[in-house]
Structure 1
Amino acid sequence: MSISYLEQNRQFHLRNDSISYVFRVLEGGELNHLYFGPRLRDDGPLSDLQEILFRDTLSVSDDRGVFSLEQIRQEYPVAGSGDLRPCALTAHDERGSHAIRLSYAGYTITDGKPPLDGLPATYAEHPGEAQTLDVLLRDDQIGLEMTLSYTLFEHAPVIARSMRLTSAGTHDITIEGAFSASLDLPDSDWDMITLTSAWSRECNVERARLRTGLQGVSSLGGRSSQHANPFIALARPNTTESHGDAIGMTLVYSGNFDADVAVDTMSDARMRIGINPDLFSWHLAPGESFQTPEALLAYSRNGLNELSQTFHELLRTRLVRGPWRGRRRPITLNTWEAFYWDIDEEGMLEVARQAADLGIELVVVDDGWFGHRDWNDTSLGDWTPNREKFPNGLKPLSSQLHALGLKFGLWFEPEMVNPDSALYMEHPDWVLGDTTRELSISRHQYPLDLTKGEVRDYLVDAMSRVIGENDVDYIKWNMNRSLSEVFSDRWPAERQGELQHRYVLGYYDLISRLAKRFPDLLIEGCSGGGGRTDPGILAYAPQTWISENTDAMERVRIQYGTSFVYPLDSMAAHVTPVPNAQTGRVASLKTRGDVAMFGVFGYELDPRTLTDDERRRIHWQIDVVKRFAPLIGNGRLYRLLSPFRRDQMPFDPDDAAWMVVSDNRQEALVGYYRTRTGVNMPVRHLRLQGLRDDLRYAIEEIGFDMPPHRPRYGDELAQVGLALVDGSNCDLHPQIDAGDNLSRIFHLRVCGD
């Protein structure tokens, strides 16, 4: 790992064992991006990677000939400088002029990785595992300074990037758009991959060829949103899960974002990610600074699985922090689908006793425990126990759960307030919105103004009282609506464009203060399901509720897409009753468990209604989950069959598969899922990945009483695969019957000859 600077050529080369990232300083002080990709051996000048051609474009100046920023691959392009493509920075001075000319002014290289003020970011545990390059640029005429930060990790094919702007002179500067990273590429022969969709069908994988123009995904609701995830990837047209080049970008941020690619008429591509410039501006008075969130850029030359594995490892080990990093999370019973709002102490205790008998480790009291809440139209903001449901408060319940050996969890939605609440009656001015107009409302609630310090102080104190007085071990932190009509009477007109970002900063301040007060508290993020599934939240909450959709076969799709960025041990996944509340589908308890085990496992049902057979199955499931939790939580995920593939034959089954392989490749766990069966179907040969060709593996099928499989070498499992035979293949005496919603789990472990 090294960050080198060639003084004579003014070239920076960031290089570790996997990647190289190269840029140089041009004659006029502009930064010219030269390369990002697999590690280059040559550590000398690479300026010839940029072609200088004569075209009918704007020239920077007469004395620099035909040199034009329109045809230069830039490191951080700035609008108002002669580059007419979509840029990374747009700003104007107090006169309204957008003309900005930032020129190189120096650099520093430090060991380690400094934190970002007020924002989540990846970190280095010791200085030797990363280096950080800060490049300073200035526009002396308007007194604007820019610092571009790059962190190179020793063992990861990742560059962490961010940008900081300072008004260092006497001018007021207004930022209109400030992306965290921009990457110029010399061609557009790529497919774009995004994760999009809607509530309860989050993270659908979309892949399309790049075309001329601007394309991408974004959010504008004050959160990362279910509609699009803050992630974008480019893959060569022939790139698969296991082969080919791919570049990925994700944003360590929980608010409005934009991730896009602009292709010009010369087929150059510009990839950007950062805060969405719509509904955003930031006023810099003299001496003030603005810091962008962190972007993570990863490169893979071995397909999309490797790209995802890079993100998984980095997020799991260098973004998640605290005592729950790397630990198995407790087996959870969330009581929402047992009670909905109709909860009370007696019912909770009965459920808790049965949960403890099943082997559950954490019982969560969901919505309805506070104020006088019996529906979603009241009491948000009043974080005190409902005395009709809990006459003695929550402490007796908490104590009895702990006596049973259970952890105690509570649901909160701290960022919202119902008009029917004591908090709203006392502080209507704490609502985020222009109260001179009729405000949009969702679920009978308004967002609180987290840009106000007194609002955050109230929430920290109110939640701390409940958590501290009742020995709460876990909280589920929900946010069930988007922001709209964003306005605050705390801020002047020229700063109203800052509110969306200030809200996110307030959220980070609130959750980080709570985490510091209760360092052992396990926090699960949620926002109407996956509305806040983003890297930013993982710095405070090591797991998120990725969707309100708990149908097992729908969850296969959601977990598959989410895995493009997020590790399995960040995805909360529960077994829920059937018929499923969202789809009406009936899947076996086995299938529901086989999907949920590839995540943070739990249940969301009423144990009082279980049959004896279901109780035995749940005991068994919990033992299996505990057995394989270290492998699932720390292994490498390989996606094998995509539920989003479009190149199926008409008779192909509607199926999906993945597997997790231990770091030493001695062990693996395979999950196969088929939504729809057929008649006289071809046999599915499931080809495995990640195993060593020269090792022989014993194969055990989990959950079906099957005769032992022949041990097989890794090369056979990769080239031939496992033949998945069942009743749909017209087997006369099937050991596994045909049927919809089938799941099969295989455990592989190295065995002797």
Structure 2
Amino acid sequence: MIHFDRTNKRFHLHAHESSYVLQIVQGYPLHLYWGRKLSALRGSAGPLFVQRSFAPYADPKHPEFSLATLPLEYPAYGNGDYRHPAYQVQLENGSTVSDLRYAGHRIYQGKKKLSGLPAAYAEDNQEAQSLDILLKDDIDGLQATLTYTVFRDFNTITRSVRFTNGGTAPIRLLRGLSASVDFRDGRFDLLSFYGSHNNERNISRHPLSKEMQVIESSRGASSPQHDPFFALLRKRADEDHGDVFGFSLVYSGNFSAQIETDPYRTVRASIGINPFDFSWKLEPGESFQTPEVVMVYSDRGLGGMSRTYNRFYRTHLARGQYRDQERPVLINNWEATYFKLNEKKLLAIAAEAQKLGIELFVLDDGWFGRRDNDKSSLGDWTVDRRKLPHGLGWLSDRIHDLGLKFGLWFEPEMVSPDSDLYRAHPDWCLHVPDRPRTLSRNQLVLDLSRADVRNYLVQSLSSVLRAANINYVKWDMNRHMTEIGSERLPADRQRETAHRYMLGLYELIETLTARFPDILFESCSSGGGRFDPGMLYYMPQTWTSDNTDAVCRLKIQYGTSMLYPAIAMGAHVSAVPNHQIGRVISLDMRGHVAMSGNFGYELDLTKLTDDEKKTVGKQIAFYKSIRPLIQFGDFYRIESPFEGNTAAWCFVSSDKSEAVGFFFEILADPARPLLTFHFKGLDPDATYENAATGDAIGGDELMYGGLTVPAGRGDFRSAIWRFRKKQGKRQDDR
């Protein structure tokens, strides 16, 4: 999968159906090609040495060799390249110039783990091959190892960098991005996500501008405002056609993605830890590991990119026993009770859930300390006996007696000023001396860079998880960082705090998930505020958004599907009027939207009418029948809710033997056009049977001719079709 041409010092990385080529020239790794798979690259598109006006050069005999114009694979600062660098260091003498040159390489089977960080993995050494390129600066002793891994069955390349101080004096890393790619031209559109709480992962697509474009977070989390991802699309690329280059950072903290067009219309795309308010001191012999970037190439448009990311993240990033298990249908009590919970009410909801076929009961916020609102008790992980006089163990046993599994909500990373923990340890939160401590949602952020704080959380959470039969944990995080400082770090390391927090968080979660491997962990951050690959490595699903309105969820789940598989997306049916925006939507449409992810309910089941309970029971039974297809099948986007009054998508099994299609019409139209639903991803030569009517229809007809969407009255309507492939040879028209 990786070939090295010793004569030309050229590396050719062969992924499943794509190639990535770089070459060492005068000690610098130069980027030559990334795209459709090539048998070889023999020089037809080699590096161009062009003398540009006023471009600096180090060798007077070769003014055409200028770092300002070459496609550098990992560019430095200060040596003549005026574009933004991938890394920057500060030496003991105050200078910020370095010059990393090729010093060797190693090609090996499989893929190494990253120290302290989440990363993709290979299940056996034969499905992946890796390349380490060692770069050295002979003056200051800095070393950087560029690591590339290609996967046999995916159009996927992962990249990361490990810096080592091989000198005798401290070096301060000011900037250390994970990957940088220089493209020969700028004929791209940029696609990224933007949003806010309750409005995550809206899609932005626009042509590259003539200046720097930055997608970033400096909030201490990947954030709902931007996702650590972007894609460059060729101008005519769409959902199903054209070249797409995706960059996704496996990290949950501050990040920056930069796309820079230079005066000669070449493009530099880079991504990694946000250099804003960041530095890392490397003593002699110390190393720093950057997070990993997962780069995906698709010549089948955004859909091809998405299905690669979906499958790759489901099978080579998510881990644990639940990775390949069907996820349970759940009921969460939050919107039913909020903080006003008690044993009688919870058991009444659970009893109704059992009758309807629900499999998991989740107890949300309000069960601990004296948590009657969001102003107290975070950090005090002891049961509130006023609300649960018999304790969690008793409640869990009663839930299990009903035939349901039992889940519990935590927000471990936070502390309330009104808590026993804060009164005992006011220094345990992130803070800066002599500055006020800014509150958000009446809470502060615990300093997870500290081992004593992490040890407390391991002990207190483990005590709760051992005291009851708990099958599921919802791990929430409801505020971003301010006053980012740590009492335990010296002054010259304070700008390491945010990243040390992330390393501490990853260590904490790794410890707990390893200690309790039978618990299904779900990540949450006020909904989708930290829905990123880093968290998916530890927790195989994420609560997609606190906004449960079905119309809003069309966009949120559509955008999320660009990267993440349906099995990772928590999606619940809630009450109407919707608690977030007040909209009233049919139970059918609410169910169909939520069925397109990891299905559950978040409402008071005891208040449903008999007819509503019948509908819910049918929804659950139907979802269970299609659950393997939704959670493990391939997802195809058909109509975008960002572009009109309708949305549509389908799920197709990997062997194309089964498919289910969803169509959504948002508002009634007095001059409604004839609407047609076209499946994607079917076998065009096969015959499929409609599970509801028994009608036999060719796969080609379902994709190219389509199905007429039933007409009706009223807003917020949906339709669903399920087809199974028929055995035997198809009888075509004669």
Give TM-score scaled by structure 2 length. Answer: 0.98
Give the Cα separation in 2 of the matches to 1:196 and 1:65.
43
Asked whether the 8 Å contact 2:15–2:152 carries over to 1, the reply is: yes
Shift of 1:399: 1.0
Task: For 1:542-561, list aligned pairs within 5 A.
Answer: 542-561=540-559
SS at match of 1:49: coil
Corresponding letter in the other structure for 1:13: H
Asked whether the 8 Å contact 2:89–2:173 carries over to 1, the reply is: yes
Aligned match for 2:445, one of 444, 447, 463:
447
Give the Cα separation in 2 of the matches to 1:677 and 1:252.
42
Give the Cα separation in 2 of the matches to 1:306 and 1:74.
28
Task: For 1:126-275, list aligned pairs within 5 A.
Answer: 126-275=124-273
Give the Cα separation in 1 of the matches to 2:548 and 2:135.
50
SS at match of 2:313: helix
Shift of 1:710: 4.6
Corresponding letter in the other structure for 1:21: Y
Corresponding letter in the other structure for 1:119: L
Shift of 1:82: 1.6
> Could you say which residue in structure 1 is the equivalent of 2:714?
739
> Could you say which residue in structure 2 is the equivalent of 1:22?
21
Give the Cα separation in 2 of the matches to 1:305 and 1:359.
34
Give the Cα separation in 1 of the matches to 2:517 and 2:61.
60
Shift of 1:717: 2.4
Asked whether the 8 Å contact 1:368–1:374 carries over to 2, the reply is: yes
Asked whether the 8 Å contact 1:73–1:186 carries over to 2, the reply is: yes
Shift of 1:392: 2.5
- Is 1:748 aligned to 2:723, yes or no? yes
> Could you say which residue in structure 2 is the equivalent of 1:71?
69
- Is 1:502 aligned to 2:493, yes or no? no
Give the Cα separation in 2 of the matches to 1:179 and 1:622.
45
Corresponding letter in the other structure for 1:50: P
> Could you say which residue in structure 2 is the equivalent of 1:579?
577
> Could you say which residue in structure 2 is the equivalent of 1:519?
517
Corresponding letter in the other structure for 2:46: L
Per-residue CA deviation, residues 362-397 of structure 1 (Å, 9 max, x unaligned), is 111100000011000000000000011112221110
Asked whether the 8 Å contact 1:111–1:131 carries over to 2, the reply is: yes
> Could you say which residue in structure 2 is the equivalent of 1:732?
none
> Could you say which residue in structure 1 is the equivalent of 2:46?
49
Shift of 1:680: 2.5
- Is 1:687 aligned to 2:686, yes or no? no
SS at match of 1:62: coil
Shift of 1:684: 1.3
Aligned match for 1:35, one of 33, 36, 40:
33
SS at match of 1:187: coil
> Could you say which residue in structure 2 is the equivalent of 1:532?
530
Shift of 1:197: 1.0
> Could you say which residue in structure 2 is the equivalent of 1:654?
645
Asked whether the 8 Å contact 2:232–2:244 carries over to 1, the reply is: yes
Corresponding letter in the other structure for 2:355: D
Asked whether the 8 Å contact 1:34–1:46 carries over to 2, the reply is: no
> Could you say which residue in structure 1 is the equivalent of 2:11?
12
Give the Cα separation in 1 of the matches to 2:254 and 2:15.
33
Asked whether the 8 Å contact 2:430–2:445 carries over to 1, the reply is: yes
> Could you say which residue in structure 2 is the equivalent of 1:110?
108
Task: For 1:257-296, list aligned pairs within 5 A.
Answer: 257-296=255-294
> Could you say which residue in structure 2 is the equivalent of 1:676?
667
Give the Cα separation in 1 of the matches to 2:248 and 2:665.
31
Asked whether the 8 Å contact 1:193–1:233 carries over to 2, the reply is: yes
Asked whether the 8 Å contact 2:15–2:156 carries over to 1, the reply is: no
> Could you say which residue in structure 1 is the equivalent of 2:414?
416
SS at match of 1:676: coil
Aligned match for 1:712, one of 656, 673, 697:
697
SS at match of 1:295: strand
Q: Which moved more, 1:385-394 or 1:118-127?
A: 385-394
Give the Cα separation in 1 of the matches to 2:667 and 2:324.
36
Corresponding letter in the other structure for 1:717: L
Per-residue CA deviation, residues 27-50 of structure 1 (Å, 9 max, x unaligned), is 2x111100011100225x337422
Aligned match for 1:723, one of 693, 708, 733:
708
Identity of aligned pairs, percent? 46
Asked whether the 8 Å contact 1:60–1:69 carries over to 2, the reply is: no
Task: For 1:353-368, list aligned pairs within 5 A.
Answer: 353-368=351-366
Give the Cα separation in 2 of the matches to 1:282 and 1:199.
31
Corresponding letter in the other structure for 1:10: K
Aligned length: 727
Per-residue CA deviation, residues 311-330 of structure 1 (Å, 9 max, x unaligned), is 00110000011110021111
SS at match of 1:376: coil
Asked whether the 8 Å contact 2:88–2:97 carries over to 1, the reply is: no
Give the Cα separation in 2 of the matches to 1:401 and 1:524.
20
> Could you say which residue in structure 1 is the equivalent of 2:687?
696
- Is 1:309 aligned to 2:284, yes or no? no
Give the Cα separation in 1 of the matches to 2:706 and 2:491.
64
Give the Cα separation in 1 of the matches to 2:277 and 2:607.
49
Asked whether the 8 Å contact 1:184–1:269 carries over to 2, the reply is: yes
Shift of 1:79: 1.1
Per-residue CA deviation, residues 64-98 of structure 1 (Å, 9 max, x unaligned), is 43210111101111112221101111111111111
Shift of 1:723: 1.7
Shift of 1:435: 4.4
Corresponding letter in the other structure for 1:454: D
Asked whether the 8 Å contact 1:683–1:725 carries over to 2, the reply is: no
SS at match of 2:571: strand
Instruction: Structure 1: state its 5+ residue gaps.
Output: 646-652, 702-707, 727-736
Shift of 1:699: 2.7
Asked whether the 8 Å contact 1:223–1:254 carries over to 2, the reply is: yes
Give TM-score scaled by structure 1 length. Answer: 0.95
